[in-house]
Amino acid sequence: MRRRITVVGAGNVGATAAQEIARRDYADVVLVDIKEGLPQGKALDLNQAGPVLGYEPNLRGANDYDETADSDIVVITAGLPRRPGMSRDDLVATNEQIVGSVTREAVERSPDAILVVVSNPLDAMCHVAKDASGWPRERAVGMAGILDTARFRTFIAWETGASAKDVTAMVLGGHGDQMVPVVSATTVGGVPLRELASEERIDAMVERTRKGGGEIVELLGTSAWYAPGAAAAEMVDAIALDQKRVLPCTAYLEGEYGIDGLYIGVPVKLGASGVEAIIELDLTDEERAELSGSADAVREVVAVLGRTT
């Protein structure tokens, strides 16, 4: 029996995630959006790509949540995207209402699902989804670290002339300018990055990673979608196929890394029950201080939640 995956939001990120999930060919995908015709049209287009790309056409578009009933995983991409000059923090008020509403609709029909949150500002929206669902932290997780790490790995591959497949890296912290690329744990083919690049070049890659989302917003006039959609699909794979992958995700911490009561990016073991373990890396003193600073920045955004509702 094929699994059922719901993607809420048929914009660029949602549609890309839906296609990436469909291409795995193990699940039926329901694409939901409030705009009439949008999810239906994109689902039809994605279905017609199936025979070419080698997956079965099993995508449906809907404007309500009845078709999503009994989903195994719900991916939430709904909300306003970033525009030039707009920080992720500027999105809080509007997207809090949107994410809260769609979460309640989805979990009412799929009470056993796992929530994967993609909407920005990511860390804060994870709090919204967890509170709206009433679910434990294991079943509400956010996509950020995989995307940020992919950007870091790309820049490292370009800098070193190596294959991105051989770059092992991890980006922790909030999904914003205070994220923490863990240089001490970064290798290329098993060789520490610091043996392959100067501190000046590493600092430049770290800074470009931190500004990676903003760089794309300035170029495109809106947020990225190909890499975020692919990153969300990787999380869906890990959960749906019970892969036990250790991936950087936004998880609710209860004392890990000295942080309590906050969603922030850390390595987690992701499997059929969601977040099955939180992995604590041996960080340097500098990295631990940066993670603490990133947590403080996330708390400032989270503190805004509920003020406008």
What pLDDT digit, counting tens, does each position of 151-208 carry? 999 999 999 999 999 999 999 999 988 999 999 999 999 999 999 999 999 999 999 9
Measured CA to CA, the distance from residue 182 to residue 206 in angstroms comes to 9
Indicate the burial class of 140 (C-beta count within 10 angstroms; 0-12, 13-18, 19 or more).
buried
Which domains does the chain possess? Answer: 3-142 (3.40.50.720), 145-302 (3.90.110.10)
Is 81's pLDDT higher than 90?
Answer: no
pTM of this structure: 0.95
Residues 130, 139, 175, 245: which is the catalytic one?
175
Separation in Å, CA 17 to CA 64, 163, 167, 220, 305: 19, 24, 24, 19, 27
User: Average pLDDT in the 246-253 region?
Assistant: 98
Polymer length in residues for the chain: 309
DSSP 173: B
Confidence band of 80 (pLDDT split at 50, 70, 90):
confident
Q: How is residue 254 written in tokens?
A: 């209860």
Strands laid side by side in the 187-188 sheet: 167-168, 187-188, 191-192
Q: Which residue has the tokens 């239906």?
A: 40
Reported as a single tens digit per residue, the pLDDT across 25-34 is 999 999 999 9
Helical segments of the chain, H only: 12-24, 38-53, 92-109, 122-133, 145-160, 199-210, 212-220, 226-240, 285-302
d(CA 89, CA 122): 10
Residue 263 has pLDDT above 50, yes or no: yes
Is 175 designated active site?
yes
